[in-house]
Amino acid sequence: MSVASKTSTKKRFLQFLAHKKLRITSQRQAIADTVFDTDEHFTAEQLLEWSRGRDKSVSRATVYRTLPLLTESGLVREMDFGKDYKFYDPNYAEHPNHNHLICQDCEKIVEFESEKIERIENEITHKLGFSLKSQRLQITGTCEELKKLGACKKKC
Ligand SMILES: [Zn+2]
Ligand SMILES: [Zn+2]
């Protein structure tokens, strides 16, 4: 995502907080800066670690309270890959139709878009008398490093 659109997505989130009459504390600001500054998908614990890199005062409780606000704002999407924890997608606002691959071992996440898949989804939806509102495709696999090296670099 471009820097300009990241900045405007962050602004939209801060406006969302203001609209809900929630204070934009320095902790929340640090969390928002972190979320809308990365293209990587993250877990709550990762977000905590990264946000603390910006502002040491960020607490676990604030991160866990801010995550539902992020998803409620519609700018971040929560993703369930069947693990004990969820992943969060900061690129949702800009690319609502992208799909994900995840490595079952190191949890590396790769995004992809495919016109072909979109066409098929539209076709199926249409055929069954529905109209498409949203879609998500998640593929679990093993990454190339695991195949080649027998281990994932990300995990080491
Ligand atoms: Zn994504
Ligand atoms: Zn891997």
Say yes or no: 82 and 42 in one domain: yes
User: Average pLDDT, stretch 8-33?
Assistant: 95
Domain ends where: 48, 67, 89? 89
Rg of the chain over Cα atoms, rounded to whole angstroms, equals 17
Residue 50 has φ and ψ, to the nearest 5°, of: -65, -40
The pTM of this model reads 0.86
Say yes or no: 59 and 13 in one domain: yes
99 by Cβ neighbours in 10 Å (0-12 / 13-18 / 19+) ranks as middle
The residues, any chain, with a CB within 8 Å of residue 137's CB and separated by 6 or more, are: 99, 100, 117
* Residue 145 included in any domain: yes
The CA 154 to ligand 2 mean position distance, Å, reads 7
Quick one: pLDDT at residue 25?
A: 95
* Residue 51 included in any domain: yes
Quick one: pLDDT at residue 135?
A: 83
Quick one: pLDDT at residue 19?
A: 96
Query: Which CATH number goes with the domain that contains 63?
Result: 1.10.10.10
Neighbours of 153 (CB within 10 A): 11
Query: Which CATH number goes with the domain that contains 117?
Result: 3.30.1490.190
The CA 10 to ligand 1 mean position distance, Å, reads 17
Nearest ligand to residue 42 Cα: 1
Task: Please tell me whether residue 8 adopts helix, strand or coil conformation.
Answer: helix
* Residue 52 included in any domain: yes
Say yes or no: 39 and 74 in one domain: yes
Quick one: pLDDT at residue 101?
A: 94
Summarised one tens digit per residue, pLDDT across range 124-133 is 999 999 998 8
Quick one: pLDDT at residue 24?
A: 93
Say yes or no: 83 and 103 in one domain: no
The per-residue pLDDT of the chain, averaged, comes to 91
Query: Is it the case that residue 59 has pLDDT exceeding 70?
Result: yes
Summarised one tens digit per residue, pLDDT across range 66-119 is 999 999 999 999 999 989 999 999 888 888 888 999 998 899 999 999 999 989
Query: Is it the case that residue 35 has pLDDT exceeding 60?
Result: yes
Say yes or no: 79 and 107 in one domain: no
The CA 140 to ligand 2 mean position distance, Å, reads 10
Nearest ligand to residue 1 Cα: 1
Say yes or no: 85 and 103 in one domain: no
For residues 52 and 115, is the Cβ–Cβ distance under 8 A? no
Say yes or no: 37 and 66 in one domain: yes
- Residue 124's domain comprises 99-149
Summarised one tens digit per residue, pLDDT across range 72-84 is 999 999 999 989 9
Say yes or no: 9 and 51 in one domain: yes
Quick one: pLDDT at residue 18?
A: 95
The CA 152 to ligand 2 mean position distance, Å, reads 4
Q: Total domain count for the chain?
A: 2
The CA 36 to ligand 1 mean position distance, Å, reads 13
The CA 98 to ligand 2 mean position distance, Å, reads 20
Quick one: pLDDT at residue 1?
A: 55
The CA 74 to ligand 2 mean position distance, Å, reads 29
Quick one: pLDDT at residue 156?
A: 56
The CA 12 to ligand 1 mean position distance, Å, reads 19
The CA 124 to ligand 1 mean position distance, Å, reads 23
Element spanning 148, H or E: helix 144-149
